[in-house]
Structure 1
Amino acid sequence: MIRAARIALIAATALASAGFVALCAWQVQRLGWKQDLIARVEQRLAAAPVASPTAEVGKPDEYRRLRLQGRFEAGSVPVQANTELGGGYWVLAPLRLDDGRAVLVNRGFVPPAQRSIESPAGPIELTGLLRLTEPHGGPLRANDPAAGRWFSRDVAGIAAQLNVPGPVAPFFVDEAADPAQPQRWPRPGLTVVRFANNHAVYAATWAALAVMAAAAAGWLWREERRRPGTSN
């Protein structure tokens, strides 16, 4: 039984090494995916703004720069936010485009004391980043439209609360800051476009654990073969 336990330990250590190798390979794949994502997003951010898409959008469209022309409709919804300026709210308001469609625009951040701000009247042109809808809220922070508590930018839910006539685009747009204009509330241009990329560190960690586990398995196997009664 003692020898069987030693053999089982050797096998477990060898299997652990193989598992660490698999995890290392997975992190290398994730590294390639993340680098590709960062490159694609940087390319979109550097591209000239384009008109609002009329077809369905998905992940490949996120952070695409758009140019919108239209008029803001009445009403806005504050969505809780934490930014470099502290805690407060994003102000989401419906923009009726010249072609008749409506797009929810995140006009920017306001501190708690200024959560209710009227949208500008008259024709307007703005640029911003296409963002995908954020339905349902966050972990342990479900949106509560009846109470006016929004924790995520749920396009369908916010459009319904504002009674925005259709058609409504299935995405929202983070308004970009205009350097030619003085700073104002809501404060646009606070979108954080930053992706954690620690996959190389994780891959190196798993590789080191794989080497250590393999070395331990090899040492245990050599010790087992040296024991009396074990054939060479």
Structure 2
Amino acid sequence: MTKRMILPLLFGLVGVMILVSLGTWQLRRLEWKEGVLAAIEVRIDARAEALPDAPNEDADQYLPVVVTGEVGEDFIRVLVSRKFHGAGYLIISPLNLGNRSVLLDRGFIKIDATVPEAPMGEVNITGNLLWPDDTNSSTPNPDMADRLWFSRDLAALSAELGTEPVLVVARETSFDDTPVSPLPVDTVGIPNDHLQYAITWFSLAAVWLGMTMFLLWRIRQKTE
């Protein structure tokens, strides 16, 4: 090894170590995220209980609940897209529980289908509480004239429908809401890209190592 090879070798080794450490960190993050998702799935599938008096996002996200009430005639369509189904709407209606009203996500309906009338009388609904992360800076404003929204903004929806800013996402109902089909809460939409990130960092480490070896080979060729 010549003196000219020492600096490129050190630079190459440090770069590889940094990239490998980043990939390893992403693997640790992957293990942590899988644990979080498993805990959420357990909570989602737990035994349903009565709706808390004052539910909040920190304590009650994904909480399974069972409620009895009357579904209001008013509703708002929230534009969404489902894999293998295409574009459609989530139907959000007010749910009168007697002494209070909350938001009810009845489920998904295809974009060309007609929303059915609300069921008559009291119904039983089993579902999960959810504070969606649907709204961001690029979300369009609602089309108020057409009752069409582009996110489940609980504060705005509750103000429009006259309910608490609490959303029950239906899992099972005691009434036939066809063609609306419940779209239960799950972990599918929660990002978990740590494995892809780890592969990227390890791939960059391999490329960096290869480039370092090639550079050292070139230096050695020139010195011979």
- In the superposition, the TM-score normalised over structure 1's length comes to 0.74
Aligned-partner Cα distance in 1 for 2:218–2:179 = 72
Residue aligning to 1:199 = 194
Which residue identity does 2:118 align to in structure 1?
Answer: S
Cα deviations by residue, 1:113-162 (Å, 9 ceiling, x for unpaired):
44544322322221012211446x45644232544331111111112222
Shift of 1:52: 1.9
Residue 142 of structure 1: aligned partner: 140
CA contact (8 A) 2:119 2:175 kept: no
Q: Secondary structure at the match of 1:142?
A: coil
Say whether 1:108 aligns with 2:110.
no
Selected match of 1:187 from 181, 195, 205: 181
Unaligned runs of 5+ in 2: none
Distance 1:181 1:115 in 2: 17
Q: Which runs of 5+ in 1 are unaligned?
A: none
> Could you tell me which amino acid in structure 1 is paired with residue 89 of structure 2?
Y
Cα distance between partner residues in 1 of 2:49 and 2:210: 57
Distance 1:225 1:214 in 2: 16
CA-atom RMSD in angstroms = 3.5
- How far apart in 2 are the matches of 1:134 and 1:171? 14
In structure 1, C-alpha distance between the alignment counterparts of 2:207 and 2:218, rounded to whole Å:
16
Alignment of 1:18-167 (within 5 A): 18-53=17-52, 54-58=54-58, 61-83=60-82, 84-98=84-98, 100-114=99-113, 116-134=115-133, 137-138=135-136, 140-147=138-145, 148-162=147-161, 164=162
> How many residue pairs are counted as aligned between the two chains?
218
For the residues of structure 2 that align with 1:67 and 1:106, how far apart are their CA atoms? Answer: 14
Q: Equivalent residue of 2:130, what SS?
A: strand
Residues 112, 219 of structure 1: alpha-carbon distance in 2 compared, 3 angstrom cutoff: closer
**2:169 equivalent in structure 1:** 174
**Secondary structure at 1:156 match in 2:** helix
**Does the C-alpha gap of structure 1 residues 61 and 29 become closer, same or farther in structure 2, counting only changes over 3 Å?**
farther
CA contact (8 A) 1:78 1:115 kept: no
State, as a whole percentage, how many aligned pairs show the same letter: 28
SS in 2 for 1:188: coil
Paired residue type of 2:179: W
